[in-house]
Structure 1
Amino acid sequence: MKTYPKSLYLLASTLFLMSSCELTEVTNPYVTEDRFVSSFQSLQTWLNGVRRQASVTVGTVVEFTELVSDNYFNNYTQSSKVFDTPEINYFDQDVANIQASIHKLMEMSTFGLTKLIPLQTEDSSQEKAELLFYQAYAQLLAADLYVGLPTEALGEVKSPDVLLQSAIALLTEAASLYTAEEEQEACTILLARCHHRLGNLEEAVRYAQLGIANPLSLKQVQYGTENGPSNNFQSAIFSATTNSFAPLPRLDFLDPKYFHQTATVFEDEKPIAIAKAEEAYLILAEAYAAQQNLAASKQVLKALLNNSVNKRTKIMLDDSKETRNGGNRKDYPLQAVAVKFDEQGAVKDGLVLDRSKGNIQAHPVSGTHVTGKDIDALATEDETLYLIYLLRQEIFLAEGRRMTDLGIRFPVSQREQLSNTHVTEEHTQAIIPSFVPANRGMDDFTYDTTSGIVTMTYDMNKILIENKSSSHILPFHH
């Protein structure tokens, strides 16, 4: 499992990374595990490194999973060239790097919990809670994104269900230790997510109901701080001269989610949400729909819009330099045109923006084009589920969540397979459900310049609902 096989290497690499140095091997004989563990403020120093690793891990996950999904297309030559297909191989270096980043967060959290917490002479319950939270979050990422992963060096490959159960135990303990309400709320929302993924409807409802007590609850990882790291996804969609990632045209109005407004880009790196109240609303609405209680589901969806999404920060942004200038596709619309979600879909306005005319409205936390009237018009379970998954796509855009909703999973990496005898051939096979279009179909569209209409080739939310009984998606329906 370990890219960094010794805790000494993890320790030294974290310390040096926090000093903005790139370490490729341990050369300092004075930075030993024993010296560090017994040093002044070792726990706080380590915890800073764990926070930094959490940001690195989330950034890595967001970059690559957004490409795998129908959210973004790699319109330039950087990043993965095949994830858009989607083509996912266990020998792909990106698969290994994502796994290594998740594992490093696991290992660093474990080191803090097992090596540093027991040595503290003063109350360290809040530090322990935070380490438990990040350990749980790493296992939740592993469960959501992989066919399975070990949680210790050369250990057995644990299934997503086992990883989720472990995350539940860790989050429950963390929540019992935290004294800050916002941290307790984050635990509650992630507990709702775990039970949703497991298909535990009653438990998911219980935690989701608790999760909407604060409609603006928000937990984020930070970027651009004194010790880094940078939000690479912000660079890909906004800051770089060539914005290499282009959104699916019907999601154009939500891009960019991350952007800078100061002259010094590094000082204006936007955070990425890892837990927010909107998810609790959406889980609750999905649970009610699964119970055929459409009235309750619609009521929750209206509360989602009124109490949460519509009250999130909105910023007017000058995005006039955006020309979708990557080059792999040169037909992205650059003016306000209508869109159809697929060939049979209705024509909709307002989803593609003309950025050259001045400021656009940006949504750094959550946004959607869905309205109360759309919710009122829902008449069936499938219509309601469709709107829920459309809302999930729009609200979680650029947060690395869509690939999981599509039922796609990474395989265990070849790097792991070569050293860990517990990895079987089955573990090295990605899961790409048969209903997922091949040949970049999820990102495909046509642009009729005469009619001024952009038409998506596939409406993936429609496809998800048509296949809702699949074991890979919609956990409450199988």
Structure 2
Amino acid sequence: MKKLITYISFIILASFGLYSCDLFDVTNPYVTEDRFINSPQAAAIWMNGLKRQSSLTVGTVVEFTELVSDNYFNNYTQSSKVFDFPEINYFDIDVRRVQTSIHLLLETARFGLEKVLPNDPEATAIQEAECIFIMGYAHLLAAELFVAMPESPNGQVLTPTEHLDRAIQYFTQAQGKYTAANDQLICDLALARANHSKGDRQAARNAAARVTATNPSLLKQVFYGTQSGPSNNFQNAIFSGTINQFAPLPRLDFLDPKYFNLTSVIVDDQKPISILKAEEAFLILAEAALSEGNIAEAKSNLSRLITEVIAIRPVTQLDDSRETRNGGNRNDYPLSAVAVRFDSSSPWISGLVLDRQAGKINAYSVSGTHVTVSDIEEASSVDELLYLTYLIRQEVFFAEGRRMTDLGIRFPISELEFNNNSNVNESHLVTQLPTFIPLDLEMDDFSVDPNSGIVTIRHDMNKVLIANKQSNLVIPFF
């Protein structure tokens, strides 16, 4: 009999035959599967656990993928010290952690849908829709982050495209079961994202247009900091902890911290992480228009994004005077309001590196960007606007675990899965790392002029993306 532990807001699958079960160190032989699924309020308890697992999975994804990308540098923490290079190996325990978290989310939702809800007379259609939606979201993460991943414990290995097809199937199914208009629109937003990743321009455009026409402030988040819920570990790494663990690329300094506490009781003041937001719909529509050479339509969508969406997202005045970038791996992070160049051929830009000792700063807990409507209007070519589109994508999705995918990087399947699943072969152990990705920490590198203090970023990775837009690993509509 499979055994499991259930508490309110806390649930662990202890023995699902899951490859990653060695990570679970708590079991309860007295709570069996049959006893649980026939207990009162089983569905409600399980759904609390599913919400908790969603938060845990997103937190894991954000921590490790942000390090892989050019968004953050590991300046101290015991988190991965090689992902920054980027060096990604199938035997790395952090690869396994990310894969584990996604698989656990998928199996928690699947078990709820197939076992718990059908046996609880109090289960609701909304709970069913939520399980289906989360299954779609888990498949979406698998597609975006891994070269391949099994569909179930010891199951057949699916390619990213096959995972996207599963995600699209589940999002469509969930949309038909939700009754609230915003829940249905969230499914549209998820469908737009999945079809964008798949390169299906028309399907992505149709779904994105429904969002922008109906609710341009649409937002779905996972939450942290309840008494029984998990902590936002990324918030601890960038703000709450005594050591400044993760340091942002200096041109992104103004967006850090995205997650912060305003009270001294940190456990009760944890910021949520956005997993779907209307900003993406506008960006997808802009990219679709540019892929067809329609500059005017792209400008319209990007301008609307700035004036109708980002402009109304919350901005918090925050005392961040404790921030000294004192991690230790490099000690030349700028601490005063100096200009920054995106690479050696770019102009100097002020206002992106902040002086946190001069007073409170603006903190953008959902979305922020330094790109203006004037910047958009002044752009005259497809490549110039595509560059702005991906610059805005980077800034809007900063600290949300999305940048690694935009860079075309994917994790391999973990060694533990390879050793225990005969469907995994050696081709699945190879990291997807485009040849245009700089190595040896260069994505995070910058120099500081000793006289002026001006910061020059070594590589403008958005320029690199546009120069390689024909690659099938990035910018799906080109």
Q: TM-score range by the shorter chain?
A: over 0.9
Determine the C-alpha separation between the residues in 2 that align with 1:314 and 1:46: 35
Contact 1:16 1:23 in 2 (8 A): no
* Identity across matched positions, percent: 54
Determine the C-alpha separation between the residues in 2 that align with 1:398 and 1:426: 30
Equivalent position of 2:16 in the other structure: none
Equivalent position of 2:345 in the other structure: 344
C-alpha RMSD of the superposition: 1.5
Deviation of 1:78 after TM superposition, in Å, equals 1.5
Contact 1:251 1:394 in 2 (8 A): yes
Deviation of 1:117 after TM superposition, in Å, equals 2.2
Equivalent position of 1:269 in the other structure: 270
Equivalent position of 2:218 in the other structure: 217
Mapping of 1:168-317 within 5 angstroms? 168-212=168-212, 213-317=214-318
Mapping of 1:59-458 within 5 angstroms? 59-122=59-122, 124-212=124-212, 213-458=214-459
Deviation of 1:122 after TM superposition, in Å, equals 4.7
Deviation digits for residues 59-112 of structure 1, max 9, x if unmatched? 000000000000000000410000000000000000001100100000010001
Determine the C-alpha separation between the residues in 1 that align with 2:370 and 2:256: 13
Contact 2:75 2:245 in 1 (8 A): yes
Deviation of 1:14 after TM superposition, in Å, equals 6.5
Determine the C-alpha separation between the residues in 1 that align with 2:187 and 2:398: 21
Contact 1:143 1:159 in 2 (8 A): yes
Equivalent position of 2:30 in the other structure: 30
Moved more, 61-70 or 219-228: 219-228
Equivalent position of 1:3 in the other structure: none
2:271 alignment partner, SS class: coil
Determine the C-alpha separation between the residues in 1 that align with 2:355 and 2:199: 42
Determine the C-alpha separation between the residues in 2 that align with 1:186 and 1:455: 39
Deviation of 1:24 after TM superposition, in Å, equals 1.2
Equivalent position of 1:45 in the other structure: 45
Deviation digits for residues 336-385 of structure 1, max 9, x if unmatched? 00000000001100000000011000000000000011000111111111
Q: Specify the code of the residue in structure 1 equivalent to 2:81.
A: K
Moved more, 308-317 or 184-193: 184-193
1:475 alignment partner, SS class: coil
Deviation digits for residues 163-183 of structure 1, max 9, x if unmatched? 001100100111111122222
Q: Specify the code of the residue in structure 2 equivalent to 1:143.
A: A
What TM-score, normalized to structure 1? Answer: 0.96
Equivalent position of 2:57 in the other structure: 57
Q: Specify the code of the residue in structure 1 equivalent to 2:280.
A: E
Unmatched segments (≥5 aa) in structure 2: 13-22
Q: Structure 1 residues 356, 330: closer, same or farther in 2, change over 3 A?
A: same
Q: Structure 1 residues 452, 421: closer, same or farther in 2, change over 3 A?
A: same
Deviation digits for residues 268-294 of structure 1, max 9, x if unmatched? 000000000000000000000101000
Equivalent position of 2:20 in the other structure: none
1:356 alignment partner, SS class: coil
| Number of residue-to-residue matches in the alignment | 468
Deviation of 1:12 after TM superposition, in Å, equals 1.4
Determine the C-alpha separation between the residues in 2 that align with 1:475 and 1:272: 25
Deviation digits for residues 241-290 of structure 1, max 9, x if unmatched? 00100000000000000000001000000000000000000000000010
Deviation of 1:15 after TM superposition, in Å, equals 6.3
Q: Specify the code of the residue in structure 1 equivalent to 2:281.
A: A
1:66 alignment partner, SS class: helix
Q: Specify the code of the residue in structure 1 equivalent to 2:248.
A: P
What TM-score, normalized to structure 2? Answer: 0.96
1:446 alignment partner, SS class: strand
Deviation of 1:125 after TM superposition, in Å, equals 0.8
